[in-house]
C-alpha cells in the first residue's frame, strides 16, 4: 500500500509507526506528501496511515462528472477495512477535514481533529458557491501547468506562488514539499468533478449531534478558507464539548510550515482524559 516518499513520485499512501491507529487526510488537490513530517513525528506512538484521496495524485481513480465527499469517504472506509481498523483517530485538513467528519458520522472515528475543514455550509449557501468560484479559477492554471517544463514548474517563482497560497511563512516549507504541492495540483483529476459536486450537494450541515471528541483547529492566516467567512458554521454548530483553537501564525496547510505544533495538537487530542479547551 505504501509507495516511495520521493517528492517527484506520487505517494499512494504513507504507512508508518506502531501504536494507536491514526488516519491523516490531506487537502483538496494535494497528496499525502503534506503529512510526511507530521507522520514522522507521530510514528513513535501511532500507526499512521495517510492515503491519497480518490482522484488525487497517487490516489485511486474516481469516475463520474459529479463527485461528493461521501464517495471519497467510501474509498477511505474500504482502506480502513483492509487494514482491519474498525475505528481510529482521524485528523483531516480542508477537504480531508470534510471527509473526516463524514467518517466520524459513520462511527469510524475515536477522536477527530479538523484542521481548517471545508464543508462548513448548508445546501445553496452563498459561501459554498463563493468557494467553488475561487477553485474554479485554478482550472486554467493547473491545465497550463501540465504543459510547462518541469524546470519552470519547480522553479523559485512557482514555489513562492504555491507557498504564499497555503502558508503564512512559505520559507519554512521545504522546497521539495512546495514542488510536490505544485505537482499534485497539476495532477488532480478530481478537480472539476469535486467542484461540481460541492456546488450541487450539501455541506456538513448540523454537527451538534456529533458524539466523537472533536477538535477544530483554525489557521490564523488562512487565505483559502478565511476564518471570518468559513469558520462560523463550525463555531456555531459543533457540540459544546468540542475544542475550538486558533493556531497562530500559520496558513491553510499548517502541517507544511509547523509540523511540530500540528503533531503535538493531534497527539494531545488523542490522549484520553484531557480537559476540553474552549479557546477563541
C-alpha cell read off for 104: 466520524
pTM > 0.85: yes
pLDDT digits (tens, 9 = 90+) for 231-243: 888 999 999 999 9
Residue 169 confidence (pLDDT):
92
Residue 273 confidence (pLDDT):
39
From the list 26, 36, 89, 252, the catalytic residue is 252
**pLDDT for residue 145 is more than 60:** no
Sign of CA dihedral 102, 105, 107, 112: positive
- Confidence bin at 278 (pLDDT 50/70/90): very low
Domains and CATH numbers, the chain: 13-270 (3.40.50.1820)
Summarize the chain as % helix, strand, coil (round to 5): 45, 15, 40
**pLDDT for residue 114 is more than 70:** yes
C-alpha cell read off for 51: 492515503
d(CA 116, CA 253): 8
Residue 89 and residue 82 in contact, taking contact as beta carbons nearer than 8 Å: no
Q: Is 31 a catalytic residue?
A: no
d(CA 21, CA 38): 14
Residue 157 confidence (pLDDT):
75
Q: Is 222 a catalytic residue?
A: yes
Work out the angle between the directed axes of helices 175-186 and 138-145 (0-180°, nearest 10).
110
Higher pLDDT, 148 or 196: 196
**In DSSP terms, which residues pair with 23 in a beta bridge?**
49, 90
Residue 221 and residue 251 in contact, taking contact as beta carbons nearer than 8 Å: yes
From the list 222, 233, 243, 269, the catalytic residue is 222
Mean pLDDT of all residues in 120-140: 61
From the list 31, 43, 94, 198, the catalytic residue is 94
CA proximity to 231, closest of 127, 102, 101: 127
Long-range contacts of 274-280 (CB under 8 A, 24+ apart): 276/241, 276/242, 276/243, 277/243, 277/244, 277/245, 278/243, 278/244, 279/243, 279/244, 279/245, 279/246, 280/218, 280/235, 280/244, 280/245, 280/246
pLDDT digits (tens, 9 = 90+) for 176-205: 999 999 899 889 888 888 877 777 777 788
pLDDT digits (tens, 9 = 90+) for 40-61: 999 999 999 999 999 999 999 9
Higher pLDDT, 252 or 125: 252
- What is the 8-class DSSP label of residue 273? T
List of residues 6+ apart from 219 with CB closer than 8 A: 115, 116, 227, 247, 250, 251, 252, 254
Q: Is 94 a catalytic residue?
A: yes
Amino acid at each position: 500500500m505504501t509507495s516511495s516518499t520521493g517528492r517527484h513520485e506520487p505517494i499512494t499512501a504513507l504507512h508508518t509507526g506502531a501504536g494507536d491507529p491514526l488516519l491523516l487526510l490531506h487537502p483538496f488537490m494535494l497528496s499525502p506528501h503534506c503529512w510526511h513530517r507530521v507522520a514522522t513525528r507521530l510514528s513513535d506512538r501511532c500507526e499512521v496511515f495517510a492515503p491519497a484521496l480518490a482522484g488525487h495524485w497517487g490516489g485511486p481513480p474516481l469516475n463520474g462528472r459529479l463527485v461528493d465527499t461521501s464517495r471519497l469517504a467510501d474509498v477511505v472506509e474500504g482502506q480502513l477495512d483492509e487494514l482491519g481498523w474498525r475505528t481510529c483517530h482521524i485528523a483531516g485538513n480542508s477537504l480531508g477535514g470534510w471527509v473526516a467528519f463524514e467518517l466520524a458520522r459513520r462511527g469510524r472515528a475515536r477522536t477527530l481533529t479538523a484542521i481548517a475543514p471545508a464543508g462548513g455550509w448548508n445546501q445553496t449557501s452563498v459561501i459554498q458557491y463563493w468557494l467553488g468560484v475561487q477553485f474554479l479559477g485554478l482550472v486554467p492554471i493547473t491545465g497550463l501547468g501540465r504543459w510547462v517544463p518541469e524546470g519552470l514548474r519547480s522553479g523559485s517563482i512557482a514555489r513562492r506562488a504555491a507557498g504564499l497560497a497555503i502558508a503564512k511563512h512559505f520559507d519554512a516549507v521545504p522546497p521539495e514539499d512546495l514542488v510536490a504541492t505544485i505537482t499534485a495540483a497539476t495532477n488532480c483529476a478530481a478537480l472539476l468533478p469535486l467542484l461540481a459536486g460541492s456546488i450541487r450537494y450539501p455541506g456538513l450541515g448540523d454537527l451538534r449531534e456529533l458524539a466523537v471528541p472533536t477538535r477544530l483547529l483554525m489557521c490564523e492566516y488562512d487565505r483559502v478558507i478565511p476564518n471570518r467567512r468559513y469558520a462560523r458554521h463550525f463555531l456555531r454548530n459543533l457540540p459544546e464539548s468540542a475544542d475550538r483553537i486558533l493556531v497562530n501564525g500559520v496558513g491553510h496547510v499548517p502541517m507544511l510550515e509547523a509540523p511540530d505544533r500540528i503533531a503535538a495538537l493531534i497527539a494531545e487530542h488523542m490522549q484520553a482524559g484531557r480537559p476540553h479547551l474552549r479557546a477563541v
